Structure 1
Amino acid sequence: MRASEKTRRLTGLALMTAIIVVLQVVASFVKFGPFPITLALAPIIIGAALYGPKAGAYLGGVFGIVVLLACILGWDSGGSILWNANPFLTAVICLGKGILSGLCAGLVYRAVAGSGRSHGRMLGGSILAGIVSPVVNTGLFCLCLTLLFHDILLSWAGGTEVIYYILFVLTGINFLVELAVNLVLSTVIVRVVGARMHA
C-alpha cells in the first residue's frame, strides 16, 4: 500500500471512529423500549464498504466499546443490569456483536459489490450490508441474552411469552428503526464509496 493511500485510509478510519463514538453516545439517550437505539451502524457499514471487512470489524469494535461504556456508566439501564449481573459476559456480548456486525457487513458488501465500479452491484452490496449489520447486531444480542441471561430475560418479560417479548417489546421498534435508517442510507453509502473510488 502506498504511503498516500495508507494515510487516506487511516484518516478515513479515524473520521469514522469519531462519528461512531458521537452517534452512539447520543443514541445512549434515545430509547424506543428498554434499550437505546443503535445509530452507529451506518458509519460502520460505510467503513466496511470503503476499507474492507477488517476495517468493519475494527469499527464494530469501537461501537462495542461505546455500548459497553454505556452499560458500565449506567446510560443504558438494561445494559447496566447485565453488567452488574456478569461484567465479563456483558463485555463479550457488547464487543462480540459489534465486531461481528461490522465484519459481516464488510464480507457481504465485498461478496456482492466486488472490486468493480458497477453502480448496481455497489447498491446491492450496500443494501444487503445494511440489512446484515443490524440483523447480526440484534440477533446476537437476543441469542446471548436468551442463553446467558435467561433469568433476567424472564424477569423482564414478566410472564409474557419470551419470544413475543423479544420480538415485539425488547428489540422490535429499535431493530426496525435501525434497519430503516440503514436502507435509507444505502444510496448515500454508494455515493461515498463511488466518490472514494474515483478520487
Structure 2
Amino acid sequence: MYTTQKNSAGIAMLVAITVVLQLLSSFLFPVLQFSLSLVMIPIVIAAVYFGKKGGMIVGTSFGITVLIQCILGLDKSGSILFNINPYFTFLATVFRGLLVGLIAACVFTLFMKLTRHFIAATAVTAAVAVISNTGIFLLLFTTLFNETLY
C-alpha cells in the first residue's frame, strides 16, 4: 500500500471517529446545558501523524458535524445561533474546526523542532487544541453575535 493511500485511509478513519464521537457526545455526556466532547482526540492524532492537511481535514469534519447538529436541532444552543444567523454559525463551527486542526499541527511541528520529545509535544498539542477550540469559539461568538448578546 502506498504512503498516500495509507494517509488517506488513516485520515478517513479519523474523520469517521470524529463524526461518531461528536454525535455521541450530545447523547452520552450531558453536563447542564453543555456536552462533554472527546472529539479533540482524533483531531490531535490527525495533526500529529498527518500534519496540517490531516489536522485541517479532520477538524473541518468536526465543524461540519457540529453545523449539521445545529441545523437539525441536536445542539440546542447551536440551533439558536443557527436561527439567528446561519452564515455566522457556519463560521463559528466549520471555520473553527479547520483552524483548530491547523493550529494543532503547527504547534506539534514547532514543539517537535524545539524539544524533539514526542510525548511532550503531543501533550502540549492536545492542551493547545482544547484551549484554541474554546478560545476561537468564544472569539467568534462575541464578535459575530455581539448584537444578540444584549
* TM-score, reference length from structure 1: 0.70
1:84-103 equivalence runs, <5 A: 84-103=83-102
- Which of 116, 124, 127 is the matching residue for 1:128? 124
CA contact (8 A) 1:35 1:79 kept: no
- How far the C-alpha of 1:151 sits from its partner, in A, is 4.5
2:9 is aligned to 11
SS at match of 1:128: helix
1:69-80 equivalence runs, <5 A: 69-80=68-79
CA contact (8 A) 1:35 1:77 kept: no
CA displacement, residues 142-171 of structure 1 (integer Å, 9 cap, x when unaligned): 1121122235444xxxxxxxxxxxxxxxxx
CA contact (8 A) 1:36 1:76 kept: no
| Aligned AA (2:71) | I
CA displacement, residues 93-146 of structure 1 (integer Å, 9 cap, x when unaligned): 1011111111111111111124x9x5xx11111111111111111111111211
SS at match of 2:34: coil
| Aligned AA (1:76) | D
SS at match of 1:75: coil
Q: Distance in 1 between matches of 2:10 and 2:20?
A: 16
- How far the C-alpha of 1:81 sits from its partner, in A, is 0.2
SS at match of 1:104: helix
List gaps (5 residues or longer) in structure 2. Answer: none
Q: Distance in 2 between matches of 1:33 and 1:27?
A: 13
- How far the C-alpha of 1:32 sits from its partner, in A, is 2.0
Rg: which structure is higher? 1
- Which of 128, 134, 138 is the matching residue for 1:138? 134
What's the % identity of the aligned pairs?
A: 36
CA contact (8 A) 1:28 1:75 kept: yes
| Aligned AA (1:46) | I
| Aligned AA (2:78) | G
1:42 is aligned to 41
* Alignment: residue pair count: 148
Q: Distance in 2 between matches of 1:139 and 1:6?
A: 33
Over the aligned positions, Cα root-mean-square deviation in angstroms equals: 1.7
| Aligned AA (1:88) | Y
List gaps (5 residues or longer) in structure 1. Answer: 155-199
